[in-house]
Structure 1
Amino acid sequence: MQYFFRHPLAEQVREEGRLEGRVEVGIEMVLSILEWRGIPVPAAVRKRVRACPDRDQLTAWAQRAVHATDAAELFLEG
C-alpha cells in the first residue's frame, strides 16, 4: 500500500490538488477583498472570477481589488 503513495501518479494527483487549492484561495481572496471594502460584486463578476484557473491573473485582480471603486475595474487593463 505504501508503494501507491510514492507512485508518480499519486504525486501528480497530490500536486494537482495543491494547485487547485491555491487557485481556490486566490478566487476567495479577490471576492473577499471587494466584499470587505463594501463594493458590490455582481453575479457576472463573481462568475468570471470563479472561472479563472490562472493564479497570476487572480493575484493581479486581488491587487486591483485593493484600489477598485467598482468590481468591474478588476478586468480593466493598464
Structure 2
Amino acid sequence: MTAMQYFWRHPLAQEVREEGRVEKGVEMTLKILEWRGIPVPDSVRSRVETCTDEDLLELWARRAIQVDNAEDLLR
C-alpha cells in the first residue's frame, strides 16, 4: 500500500474530512439565512456554530430556505 493510500484510510484523515463537512454545513446554513436577509441572533448563531452533527446541519440548511426567522430554524 502506498503512503498516499494509507493516509486516506487513516482515521485521522477521516476525521479531517468529517470536520470539513461540518464546517461547510455550518457555513451554508448561516449563508442561506444571510442571503435571505434573515437576522441571526447570537443564540442561534452559537447553536449552529457549535453543532457537530452533519445530519442536523443538513436539516437546518433545508429549513433555512423556508423559515421566516432564524429561531424557527432550530424548532
TM-score, scaled to structure 2: 0.88
Q: Which runs of 4+ in 1 moved over 3 A?
A: none
Cα distance in 1 for residues equivalent to 2:26 and 2:50:
9
Question: Among the aligned pairs, what percent are the same residue?
Answer: 48
Q: Deviations over 1:1-35 (max 9, x none)?
A: x65x7279x71111100000000000000000000
Higher gyration radius (CA): 1
Structure 2 gaps of 5+ residues are none
Aligned-pair RMSD on alpha carbons? 2.0
> 1:53, CA displacement in angstroms?
0.5
Q: Deviations over 1:23-62 (max 9, x none)?
A: 0000000000000000001111000001110000001001
TM-score, scaled to structure 1: 0.85
Cα distance in 2 for residues equivalent to 1:63 and 1:6:
35
